[in-house]
Amino acid sequence: MPFTSASVMSPEGSSSSLGPADHGSLLDTCERALGRARGFQRPILASWSRPLDVGDPVSVWSRARRSTQRSFLWQSPWDGGSLVAIGSARALRGRGEHRVRAVRDGWRTLVKDLVTGGVAATGLPVGEGPLAIGGFSFRAEDAYETGRLPDALMWVPALQIRSAVPAPGAEGRPVPAELRLNAVLLHDSDPEQVADNLVHLARLCLTPDPDADTERRKRRDRPGRTCHSTELPGAEAWKGLVRGATDRIRAGEFEKVVLAREVRVTASAPFDLPAAVERMSGANPGTTVFAVDHEEYTFLGATPEYLVQVGDRTVHALGLAGTTPRGATPEQDEACERELVGSAKIQHEHEVVVSMLRDALADSCTDVTAETPPQVVKLANVQHLSTKVRGRLAEDSTAGVLDLVEALHPTPALGGHPRAQALSWLADNEGLDRSWYAGVVGWADRSGQGQFAVAIRSALLDGPTASLYAGCGLVADSDPEAEYAETCAKLRPMMSALGIE
C-alpha cells in the first residue's frame, strides 16, 4: 500500500497530519524492530507515538470501532483521563487458575525488548508507552469454553489514544492526547508494509465521517425497539437460592457469599452501543465507563468500584460493599443513608471486604492504611459504603498492577468470604455463567502501573441480545425479598442506558 498523508482531525475540526516525516520516523521504528527480531529470533514489539489534539473520546471510539473486531474504550474518574484503543497488535491470553499470571508473564516478555520511536506526549495521566488492555472473567473455567468472552484476554492495541483531563471551561474543545501505533514484527515482516498499514488505520479511525455521524444521530431519533426479558433464574427460584445460602452461612460453612442473577433481553433490533455509552457517562458521574469489543460481543458498563490502581509505586484499592436504595425525597434519602451507616449487618459485610484488602496489600506494600469511617457513595439508584485502602510498594517489591489483580480478585465484595468456600458454593449452586461480570477490566503499562475496575453495573451484548447482571452480598440474616429488590435497583442503570423499558 503506497503511503499517503493521513489527516488526524478532531470532530471539532482541529487537525494535524501524519506527514512524510512521521511516516519516515514510524518506518525507522519498524525497521529497528525487524533488526532486533532477526537478531533475537523472537517477535519484537514496535511502538511509535506523537502528540495530537483529539475531541470527544466516545465519538472517536464510535467511529473507529467499525474498522476492527477488537476495540476498547475507557473513561476514568480517578484521573479524568480517557483511552481509546483499536485493533490488536498482539493478544495475551490465559486460562484456568493462573490465567492472570499467564497474561502478566506474556506481557513482561513482550515489552522486555520493546523498540520505541516518535515523540511521547506530556501532561497525560499515569501510564506510559504501549498498554496491555482487556480483562479477566469472574472465575476460571478450567473445564470448558463458555463460547462468549475468554477467561483472560488482554491485548496490545494497534492504535491507542490516551487523552488528558479537559481544562476547566474547555468542554467541547480538543484536549491534549497521544496517538500511539503498535505492531509486532517477526523475522520475515515487511517493515514498510507494517508502517503503511498503521498509517492507514490511523486515517480510518481519526478522520471524521460526517455521513456516519449524521446516520448515528438519525438512529437515535427512530422509534424505540421492543424487548422481551427473561430472568435467569426466575425470581422465586433466586430467592430460594438466597435462603439456601443463608442456611449454609448459619451452619458455619462460610461467612458471606455474593449471589448474582442475569436478566437476558432480546430486542427487535440491535442496541445502539455508542448511545448507551453516552447515556451511561451522563447518568453515572464518578463511575468508570468502559466498553470492550471482542469479535461479535461487546461488554460495557459504568462501575462505581475499582479493584486496584498503581501509579508512581503508590497502590490504591477500594472496598465497596453494603447497599441501600436511594430515597424518593431528600428526607427519605437521608433515612436510607442512616440505615446504611447504622446497620450492624452491613457494617460487618463491609469490614470483611476492607480487612481482606488490607491483608492482601500488606504482602507487597508498606504503610497500608484504610480510611475511617467508611464513606457513603450515592449513585442514581443505590448508595454504598465505601472505604479507600492505600499502600506504598516496598522498596524491594517487584509487584506490578497485574500481580495485585491476581492477589485481590475476586474480593469478598464479588465472591464471598472465605474465598474458596464461597466460590465453591457458587460453582455448585448459582447456575450462572457470569462471564466478565464481577471480573475486572482495565490496563497495564510496561512499568507495572495501571488501573483495573470491578466490572459491575455491566452488560454483555451480542447484536439484539443483552445479558444484564446484578448481585448482592449475603450474610446470615439476609432477607430474600430485600436482596431481590436490591438487584432490581442495581439493574436499572444499565436498562436505562440500553433503552430497555
256 as an active site residue: the answer is yes
Q: How far apart are CA 390 and CA 367, in angstroms?
A: 8
Q: How far apart are CA 30 and CA 22, in angstroms?
A: 12
Helix, strand, or coil (residue 271): coil
- What is the end-to-end Cα distance of the chain in Å, rounded? 48
Tens of pLDDT, residues 243-269: 999 999 999 999 999 999 999 999 999
Q: How many CA atoms lie within 13 A of 208 on its CB side?
A: 16
Question: What would the grid cell of residue 460 be?
Answer: 454483555
Is residue 223 within 8 Å of 78, Cβ to Cβ? no
Tens of pLDDT, residues 292-320: 999 999 999 999 999 999 999 999 999 99
Question: What would the grid cell of residue 471 be?
Answer: 448481585
Q: How far apart are CA 419 and CA 421, in angstroms?
A: 6
Q: Which is catalytic among the residues 305, 349, 351, 483? A: 305
Examine the pLDDT at 107 and tell me if it is beyond 60. Answer: yes
Q: What is the percentage of the chain residues whose pLDDT exceeds 70?
A: 90
Per-residue burial over 303-333, b = 16 or more CB atoms within 10 Å of its CB, e = otherwise: bbbbbbbbbebebbbbbbbbbbbeeeeeeeb
Better-scored residue on pLDDT, 205 or 289: 289
Tens of pLDDT, residues 477-492: 999 999 999 999 999 9
Where is average pLDDT lowest: 54-63, 83-92, 248-257, 369-378?
Answer: 54-63
- Predicted confidence at residue 9, as pLDDT, reads 40
- Predicted confidence at residue 144, as pLDDT, reads 43
Average pLDDT of the residues in 61-65: 90
- Predicted confidence at residue 140, as pLDDT, reads 81
Helices and strands of the chain, counted as H and E runs:
12, 25
Examine the pLDDT at 1 and tell me if it is beyond 70. Answer: no
Other Cβ atoms closer than 10 A to 19: 12
| pLDDT grade for 171, boundaries at 50, 70 and 90 | low
- Predicted confidence at residue 211, as pLDDT, reads 62
Helix, strand, or coil (residue 345): helix
- Predicted confidence at residue 380, as pLDDT, reads 85
| pLDDT grade for 125, boundaries at 50, 70 and 90 | confident
Q: What is the CA radius of gyration of the chain?
A: 23
Bridge partner list, 298: 293, 461
- Predicted confidence at residue 223, as pLDDT, reads 54
DSSP readout, 68-117? -SEEEEEE-TTT--EEEEES-SEEEEE-STTHHHHHHHHHHHHHTT-EEE
Average pLDDT of the residues in 176-185: 95
Examine the pLDDT at 411 and tell me if it is beyond 50. Answer: yes
Is residue 325 within 8 Å of 382, Cβ to Cβ? yes
- Predicted confidence at residue 452, as pLDDT, reads 97
Is residue 298 within 8 Å of 292, Cβ to Cβ? yes
Average pLDDT of the residues in 352-375: 94
- Predicted confidence at residue 19, as pLDDT, reads 84
Other Cβ atoms closer than 10 A to 472: 22
Q: Are strands 314-325 and 306-311 parallel, antiparallel or unpaired?
A: antiparallel
Q: Which is catalytic among the residues 31, 178, 256, 486? A: 256
- Predicted confidence at residue 61, as pLDDT, reads 93
DSSP 128: -
pTM of the complete model = 0.92
Examine the pLDDT at 5 and tell me if it is beyond 80. Answer: no
Positive or negative torsion for Cα 199, 201, 202, 203: positive
262 as an active site residue: the answer is no
Average pLDDT of the residues in 124-134: 93
Tens of pLDDT, residues 313-347: 999 999 999 899 999 899 999 999 999 999 988 89
Examine the pLDDT at 219 and tell me if it is beyond 60. Answer: no
- Predicted confidence at residue 205, as pLDDT, reads 86
Q: How far apart are CA 260 and CA 430, in angstroms?
A: 7
Highest mean pLDDT among 26-35, 137-146, 199-208, 380-389: 26-35
Q: Hey, which bits of 313-370 come out as E strands?
A: 314-325, 365-370
